[in-house]
Amino acid sequence: MRDAPAGVLHAASQRLLRAGFVHLVGGDHFAYLPLGQRTLKRITALACQTLEALGSQEISLPAASHIGDVAKGVIRSQRQLPRSAFEFQVEPQAGGRLRDGLLGARQSPVLRVFVLAGDQAELVQQLDAHEAALQRWLRACGLPTRPVLGLSPQGKIAQGLGYLTPEGSAPFLYCDACGYAAAQPIAGFRKPPAPDEPAQPLVEVATPGANTIEALARFLDVPKARTAKAVFLSAQMDDGEERLIFAVIRGDMDVSEAKLRIALGARHLRPASEAAIRAAGAEPGYASPIGLGADRVLIVADDAIPNSPNLVAGANRPGYHLRNTNYGRDYTAHLVTDIALARVGDACPRCGAPMRAAEAVQLLWRASFDLEDAMFSAADGAARKLALGLIQVNLGHVLVCIADAHHDEHGLRWPVEVAPYAVHLVRLGGAGEEAAASADALYDALWAAGVETLYDDRAESPGVKFADADLIGLPLRITVAPRALAAGGVEFKRRDEAQKAIVPLAEAAVRARQVLDELRAAQRCATAR
C-alpha cells in the first residue's frame, strides 16, 4: 500500500499496513497477513524458548478461568510446586479505537503465563523471575522496557512492563530521577502538606453564586487548598447495586475516577443526577458530608483530607458555605484512601522529584490470586490453598511497538531475531536474462544455507522494488542485476546502513550468513547492556 487507511492515525500501525504485514478488514478489525504472521511466529518462538528455559510448559485452555480446574486436578502436594505453564490465545480487547491502529484492535493475540505456588511469598518470587525473563525476551525482540504501574484488562492496578513512546496508548507520569512510571489515572504522588494548625469553630458564611471551587476561592480570598471539593458519582457495584458516592477531596486536587472505582470495587462510575444528590440531603454546588446520613450516601475521603484542618466546605443549602470544617470532628467517611489524580509536576511518590508527562504502552501486566477450591498438601501435612499468578502480554502490541522502535523515514527496520525473513532478494531485468537465472539459483542457495529469503521477481521498476524493500525492512537486501553481475557479483545492502558492496555470486550465500551472524551478535550485545 502506498497510503494507510485514513482512519488509522497511529504511525507504527500505518507502517505495518503499508508494508503488508496487516490489513484492515470489516472497517475496524486487523488481519495478520503472511509477513505479519511470520513476524509474530518469530516473536512467540523467542517467548517459548525463554519460558521453557525456566521449566514452563505450553498448554491450551478453553478460557483462562479454567486454570483453576487444571491445577485442582494436577497439583496434589508441595513437592509439585512451584510450577508454571503458558499459552497463546486470541482474545477480544475492550475500548479499542481505529485511530490507535493495532493498539486499539478489537482483538489481539496474547501470551498468558500461569504461575502456581504454595504461598504468596513463593508466588512473588516466581512472578519476579518470570517477569525478568520476559523482559530479557522483549529486549531480544528489540524492545527496551521498564517497570511500570498500569491498569490490567480487568481495570485493576497491575505491576508490569511498559514501552515509553510518543506514540503510546495511554498517558503516563515518569520520574527521571528514580525511574518511577505509572499510568496517570492510578499514579501516586506526594501531596503538598496542609498547615499544621488547631481546629477552629465552624462558621457559616454567605457565598452567593460561589458554586464552584474557583468561584469560592475568589469570593472568600482563600487558596483552593483550603477548600473541600465535593464530587458526586453513581457507582454500579459488583453485585449490581447502584450506590450514590460522595467523594471529598481538597480543592487543589481532582478526583481520579480510576482510583475511586478500584477503591470501591465498583464496575462503573458515572456522574450523579441533581435529583439523586438532593435526595441524599445535599445541595449541588454547596455540598459537604456534614449531616448526611450514612444510609443515603457512601462517603469516600481522599487521604489528604484528615490532615487538612479548617477547610471551607458546603453548608448543604444554596448560597452558603462553612468555614473550618474538620474531618473527625464534623464528619467521618466510610472509606479514606488516595483518590487524587496525579498531574505533571507533582512530586514522585518514591523520591519526591517532579514528574513529567510520558506516553507508554503497557506490554506486560501481572496479578496474583488465591484459588479458593484448589488445595494441596503442604510439607507439614496441612491442606492449603494454591496461590496463582498470571502474567499477560499483548503480542499485537509487542509487534507494533517493535515497528515503532525500529524504522526510518523509508520504512521498517526489523531486528534480525524477529524479521519475517532474513534477506530480501531483488531481481532486476527481464525473465529471460542472465540476471533471472542467477537470481533463481541464488534464491535456492540461500535457502539451502539456512537463510530464509523473500524473493521479489515482479516485473516492476527498480525504484518500486527498492522502495518496497525499504518499506518492508528486512535486515539484508541482495540485488541481482545485469550491472552488478557485470561488476563481478551481486549487490549487498544492510537495511541499517547506506553503503552497498559487490559480493561474488558464488560467495553470496556464505557471505549473507556472515552478515546476519554479525547483526545477531550486535543485537545480543545491545540486549546485554
Structure confidence by residue, pLDDT tens digits, 19-72:
999 999 987 889 999 999 999 999 999 999 999 999 999 999 999 889 988 988
Which pLDDT band, with edges at 50, 70 and 90, does 232 fall under?
very high
| pLDDT band (50, 70, 90) for residue 289 | very high
Which part of the chain is CATH 3.40.50.800?
Answer: 414-528
CA distances (Å), 93 to each of 22, 233, 310, 483, in order?
Answer: 17, 26, 46, 51
Run of H or E including 122: helix 120-140
Report the Cα 3 to chain-centroid distance in Å. Answer: 27
How far does Cα 371 stand from its chain's mean position?
A: 26
Q: Domain 203-337 sits in which CATH superfamily?
A: YbaK/aminoacyl-tRNA synthetase-associated domain (3.90.960.10)
Q: Is 99 helix (H, G, I), strand (E, B) or coil?
A: helix
Interval 92-101: pLDDT, tens? 987 778 899 9
* Residue 430 near residue 424 (C-beta atoms within 8 A): no
Backbone φ and ψ for 447, nearest 5 degrees, come out as -65, -40
Which architecture characterizes domain 414-528 according to CATH? 3-Layer(aba) Sandwich (3.40)
pLDDT tens per residue across span 384-432 = 889 999 999 999 999 999 999 999 999 999 999 999 999 999 999 876 7
The C-alpha cell at 268 is 462503573
Provide CATH 3.30.930.10 ranges for the chain: 11-158+362-404
pLDDT of 439 strictly over 90: yes
165-174 b/e with 16+ CB inside 10 Å = b? bebbbbebbb
What is the DSSP track for 383-420?
A: EEEEEEEEEEEEHHHHHHHHHHHSEETTEE---TTT-S
pLDDT 10s digits, 114-173? 999 999 999 999 999 999 999 999 999 999 999 999 988 888 899 999 999 998 888 999
Q: What is the dihedral of CA 3, 6, 12, 17, to 10 degrees?
A: -50
Q: Any residues with CB less than 8 A from the CB of 250 and at least 6 apart, and which? A: 194, 224, 225, 227, 228, 229, 302, 304, 305, 308, 311, 340
Q: Which three cell numbers stand for residue 403?
A: 515497528
Distance CA 121, CA 327 (A): 37
How many CA within 13 A on the CB side of residue 281? Answer: 12
CATH topology of domain 11-158+362-404: BirA Bifunctional Protein; domain 2 (3.30.930)
Quick one: pLDDT at residue 370?
Answer: 76
Question: In which residue ranges of the chain is CATH 3.90.960.10 found?
Answer: 203-337
The single-letter DSSP state of residue 153 is: T
Q: What letter represents residue 202's amino acid?
A: L
Which is nearest to 16 in space by CA: 35, 44, 41? 35
Q: Is 205 exposed, middle or buried (0-12, 13-18, 19+ CB in 10 A)?
A: middle
